[in-house]
Structure 1
Amino acid sequence: MEQNFNVSYSSNLVVSANIYMNYPIEIIADHEFGNLLVEFKDRKPVKDAEGEAFVIIGVDERGRLSYISIIPDDEDLKKLIKEIKNA
């Protein structure tokens, strides 16, 4: 599996990384407001859901994102997560 990394930095958005495996992923961490966005650049959303959730974020020894775990409290959010395909 070929891996190419393209990382860019800006003032408020800490990291924007495109990781090419089978698709580009953009990870944007905002130091000013503490927001995090993980976006699959080649996929257009056809539906979404929002709601309360317990979120766990792991970082490695260099401060890079290792994982995100989302445990939804909201039923609509839980339903949409159950519909996500793993492949």
Structure 2
Amino acid sequence: MTALITWLLTNPTILAIGAAIIAVAGAWVHGRVSGAKAQANSDKAKETDAYAKHIQEISDAANARPSGGVQSDPHNRDRA
């Protein structure tokens, strides 16, 4: 058993294959993490734009005034 372990740890082909597997796994994990960060930044930018638009719509609604008298407003529910 000791001879087998010694052979595996000293065989350059086995070590190269192991190093390649570790490098591929590391690159995959790095890609997943950077992709998640990019997605989070994209989502945050979209939320910021949507919030700014929402605030602008609220501001526009607060500044809205009827174009004519209140009685001539077609959307006035109390208009007789």
Q: Higher relative contact order at CA 8 Å, sep ≥6: structure 1 or structure 2?
A: 1
Judging by fraction of residues, say which structure has more helix.
2
TM-score range, shorter chain: under 0.3
State the TM-score, normalized to the length of structure 2.
0.17
State the TM-score, normalized to the length of structure 1.
0.16
